[in-house]
Amino acid sequence: GAGVSQSPSNKVTEKGKDVELRCDPISGHTALYWYRQSLGQGLEFLIYFQGNSAPDKSGLPSDRFSAERTGGSVSTLTIQRTQQEDSAVYLCASSLQGRSYGYTFGSGTRLTVV
Amino acid sequence: QQPVQSPQAVILREGEDAVINCSSSKALYSVHWYRQKHGEAPVFLMILLKGGEQKGHEKISASFNEKKQQSSLYLTASQLSYSGTYFCGTGYNDYKLSFGAGTTVTVRA
């Protein structure tokens, strides 16, 4: 596609429910990243995909968080038993592989846990 | 490993210049710069690589001092459209970036 697409754009959920956030990267971008941005804060790394594998999951805050990527394309970030501290904007980015390429970010999913 | 950005915020009048700094406590592989407008996605501005290579999409300039593990972004003759929050992303390997807390730039007419 022309850009990185994320859905939903907004999600309000009750504490304890599970949520799924979707990311559709730019076609041909083998690298895919999930970051989290809390209000007024910087971007916190969550997970990195190279193709369908995730060689770096070091940023996932707890075992309630998981992510997968299928077909080297769409990725889903799942948060189980949501807590209020999970409220944030979840950003997905994709890039060509290698250190000399910039990221293209999606517009994010704003998650609010009530 | 989060880089430190300074200043936290800056207010400019159109036409004025500003410098945003990004410092790392570890040796850097690369530095990225992004700008985020309120409610929008961060947009890639420039990448600086160890060894001197630079790649960017806009008419902006930046420097990368490998010895000091620092990068600076130069906003010259600022325009209203330069307003936003600027983030530096520091790379310590060939894929992952750690982002600073951001510098909020406000350009006034």
pLDDT tens track for A3-43: 999 999 999 999 999 999 999 999 999 999 999 999 877 89
Shortest Cα distance, chain B CAs vs residue A4, angstroms: 10
Interface probe with A: pick from B53, B96, B103, B104, most Cβ of A within 10 Å: B96
Distance (Å, rounded) from C-alpha B92 to C-alpha B80? 33
- Rounded alpha-carbon distances, angstroms, from residue B90 to A86, B4, B50, B69: 25, 10, 11, 10
Beta-carbon contacts of residue A50 (< 8 Å; ≥ 6 apart): A30, A31, A97, B95
Q: Which two tokens stand for residue A84?
A: 């209020």
Q: Which two tokens stand for residue A63?
A: 């075992």
Q: Provide the pLDDT for residue A48.
A: 95
- Of B26 and A2, the structure prediction assigns the larger pLDDT to B26
Q: Which residue of A has its CA nearest to B52?
A: A100
CB contact under 8 A, A108 and B41: yes
Interface probe with B: pick from A103, A107, A110, most Cβ of B within 10 Å: A103
Residue A61 scores a pLDDT above 90: yes
Q: Provide the pLDDT for residue A77.
A: 98
Give the model's confidence band at A1: pLDDT under 50 very low, under 70 low, under 90 confident, else very high. low
Give the model's confidence band at A64: pLDDT under 50 very low, under 70 low, under 90 confident, else very high. very high
A positions 15-74 inside 8 Å of B (CB): 31, 33, 35, 41-45, 48, 50, 56
Torsion (CA) B91, A26, A36, A111 in degrees, nearest 10: 180
- Average pLDDT on A60-74 reads 94
The three-class DSSP label of residue A111 is: strand
A10-13 and A109-113 strand pairing: parallel
CB contact under 8 A, B98 and A45: yes
Beta-carbon contacts of residue B13 (< 8 Å; ≥ 6 apart): B78, B107, B108, B109
Closest of B27, B28, B22 to residue B49, by C-alpha: B28
CB contact under 8 A, B94 and A98: yes
CB contact under 8 A, B49 and A104: no
- Average pLDDT on A63-81 reads 96
Q: What is the pLDDT of residues B10-65, one digit of tens each?
A: 999 999 999 999 999 988 889 999 999 988 999 999 999 877 767 665 668 899 99
- Report percent pLDDT > 70 for chain A: 99
Residue B109 scores a pLDDT above 60: yes
- Average pLDDT on A63-83 reads 96
Closest of A87, A112, A83 to residue A11, by C-alpha: A112
- Rounded alpha-carbon distances, angstroms, from residue A18 to A5, A7, A30, B14, B65: 21, 15, 28, 47, 45
Q: What is the DSSP letter of A4?
A: -
Distance (Å, rounded) from C-alpha B48 to C-alpha A58? 25
Q: Provide the pLDDT for residue A40.
A: 75
- Of A98 and B97, the structure prediction assigns the larger pLDDT to B97
Residue A81 scores a pLDDT above 90: yes
- Rounded alpha-carbon distances, angstroms, from residue B11 to A12, B15, B76, B87: 35, 12, 14, 16
Q: Provide the pLDDT for residue A90.
A: 98
Q: What is the mean pLDDT of chain A?
A: 94
